[in-house]
Amino acid sequence: MSDDDFMQASDEEYDFEYEDEEEEESGDIDIENKYYNAKQTKAADPEDAVGEFLAISALEPEKGEWGFKALKQAIKLEFKLQRYEKATEHYRELLTYVKSAITRNYSEKSIDNMLNFIEKGADNPAAVQCIEQFYSLTLECFQSTNNERLWLKTNIKLAKLLLDRRDYHAVARKLRELHRVCRKEDGTDDPSKGTYSLEIYALEIQMYSETRNNNQLKALYQKALKVRSAVPHPKIQGVIRECGGKMHMSEENWKDAQSDFFESFRNYDEAGDLRRIQVLKYLLLTTMLMKSDINPFDSQETKPYKNDPRIAAMTDLVDAYQRDDIYKYEDVLQKNTDLLADPFIAENIDEVTRNMRTKGVVKLIAPYTRMRLSWIAERLRISEPEVQDIVGYLIVDGRVQGRIDEHNGTVEIESRGDAERARAVECMASAVGDLYAAIFKDGDGFRLAVPDMAGGGFSDQMGDFGGSGFPEGPRRGGGGLRSRGNLKNILNIAAH
């Protein structure tokens, strides 16, 4: 077959059929184009975009995916524009799509994302009320469709909303309901719902932490750490560890508190949660309470935040504390009053400040034996009653030997050198008494032979005393020799 014949045959066999453009255009293409056009205008003109999105559902002959997507966009924009009643109305319409228009998995993911979106915008009472209505509508819808997974997720979100509102009675009721769903018939936790159980534990731990119910908190905290059937989001672990750290802090267990805050920070950091910054401040706080000289930014996880301006004030406090620079410490506190906006830091920073001022008092009074309390207060820039309280604590604790004269407002420090000298003199007097008794009472006294003195002179006389200079009587007793040696040592101590 020639090339021409081949090409002719090819044209016959592989002839292309072109579709008519009018047949290709369909209603779905128009709807899709309208959806993307509205999406492009939502940033510049959100109000006009809302109208465009809402008009899409009317173009569909029956409920479908594009109408569902358009309603989602419209609801988000209405929520941003604070049109909460309209947003709720259209959300109710959106839920009618989940039964037939879209798949179960897609609807579950979309609704969950929608609830996560509006949670972030709950910055006023009207928004919170709107969110609560969204939760109620969602629970009503998915309870009828037996979607237990989304029902659990929504109820957990509702419990969190109630916890944020500090409605602890309602939270407790909701948590009991959630626990029942996540347990087997014998009352034990259902391993297949371990992730949800851990989220519920995290909320309950938060509730007990805020209400300062440490007994319940400790038991639940230990129980949550033993859950092994869950693969929770790092944020959940961050919440549990943060509350555990606060629990340990209330018990002044600084070491375990530091460990929990570090784990909490690491988990929040992994989750990309902004809570990591606040927990890092708690970690720096425990470093000071532990009186540790270890740099908290030596670890690989914390090193990137060393120069973060959001924790600069806390970093400066740690630096001043570790260098015993009370003036720098007080200056940082005065210039960064926003640190105390966090109730937890405000509650525990007093202990750090007291430790810092105590070290300052010890360092200041070290060279002196008598000083006025007002002078110490002026030097450390604190009140006189606080100085008296700190000095009193140091005296009771045995770190300072002295006394406070409240009438004259002075403190007198006993010199250790004087005390040691007084003890040496007392020992010397005792040794002299022992020496006197050994020579003149227990022994025979000085037996001086006159002929020996006449014949041999004074040097022969000293020979009777032997090498020790004592007569034979005391030497036989041995007391004179020991007393002489002790006396010599004591006289040397007293002389110095």
pLDDT digits (tens, 9 = 90+) for 394-451: 888 888 888 888 888 888 887 655 555 656 777 887 787 777 677 766 555 544 444 4
DSSP-derived secondary structure for 428-446: HHHHHHHHHHIIIIIS---
The CA radius of gyration of the chain, in Å to the nearest whole number, is 43
- The confidence band for 464, taking pLDDT boundaries of 50, 70 and 90, is very low
Mean pLDDT of 125-133: 86
Stretch among 162-171, 398-407, 458-467 having the lowest mean pLDDT:
458-467
- Summarize the confidence of residues 459-486 as an average pLDDT: 42
Mean pLDDT value of segment 158-172: 88
Q: Of 234-243, 292-301, 360-369, give the range with the top mean pLDDT.
A: 234-243
Highest mean pLDDT among 114-118, 142-146, 235-239: 235-239
On the question of pLDDT at 342 being above 70, the answer is yes
Mind listing the pLDDT tens digit for each residue in 365-386?
888 888 899 998 888 888 888 9
Q: Mean pLDDT over all residues of the chain?
A: 79
In tens, the pLDDT along 474-494 reads: 343 444 444 444 555 555 555
Q: Tell me: pLDDT of 305 over 70.
A: yes
> What is the spatial distance between Cα 141 and Cα 154, in angstroms, rounded to a whole number?
11
Q: Where in the chain are all domains bearing CATH 1.25.40.10?
A: 26-246
pLDDT at residue 243 tops 70:
yes
* b/e burial code for range 206-232 (CB count within 10 A of at least 16 → b): bbbbeeeeeeebbebbeebeebeebeb
Instruction: Tell me the C-alpha distance between 69 and 76, whole Å.
Output: 11
List % helix, strand, coil for the chain (3-state, nearest 5).
75, 5, 25
* 459 has a pLDDT exceeding 50: no
Q: Which two tokens stand for residue 112?
A: 């969950």
Residues 26-246: name the CATH superfamily.
Answer: Tetratricopeptide repeat domain (1.25.40.10)
- What pLDDT shows up at residue 341? 86
Residue 265 — pLDDT band, cuts 50, 70, 90? very high
| Residue range 201-231, pLDDT digits in tens | 999 999 998 888 888 888 888 888 887 766 7
pTM: 0.65
Q: Pick the residue with more confidence: 465 or 30?
A: 30
Tell me how far apart the alpha carbons of residues 448 and 458 are, in angstroms, rounded to a whole number.
10
Provide the pLDDT for residue 282.
Answer: 94
Q: Which parts of 366-415 fold into alpha helices (H)?
A: 373-380, 384-396
Instruction: Using the predicted structure, report yes or no on whether residue 250 has a pLDDT greater than 50.
Output: yes
Grade residue 267 by pLDDT with cuts at 50, 70 and 90.
very high
Asked whether the predicted pLDDT for residue 296 surpasses 70, the reply is yes
Averaged pLDDT, 146-170: 85
Q: What is the pLDDT of residue 468?
A: 41
pLDDT of residue 458: 41
Q: Does pLDDT of 262 surpass 90? A: yes
Instruction: Give tens-digit pLDDT for 8-48.
Output: 444 444 443 444 444 434 556 778 888 888 888 888 888 88
pLDDT at position 260 over 50: yes
Which residues does residue 406 pair with via DSSP β-bridges, in sequence order?
A: none
Would you state the pLDDT for residue 418?
52
Mean pLDDT of 226-246: 85
CA angle 261, 262, 265 (to 5 degrees): 85
CA distance 185 to 460: 111
Residue with the larger pLDDT of the pair 473 and 436? 436
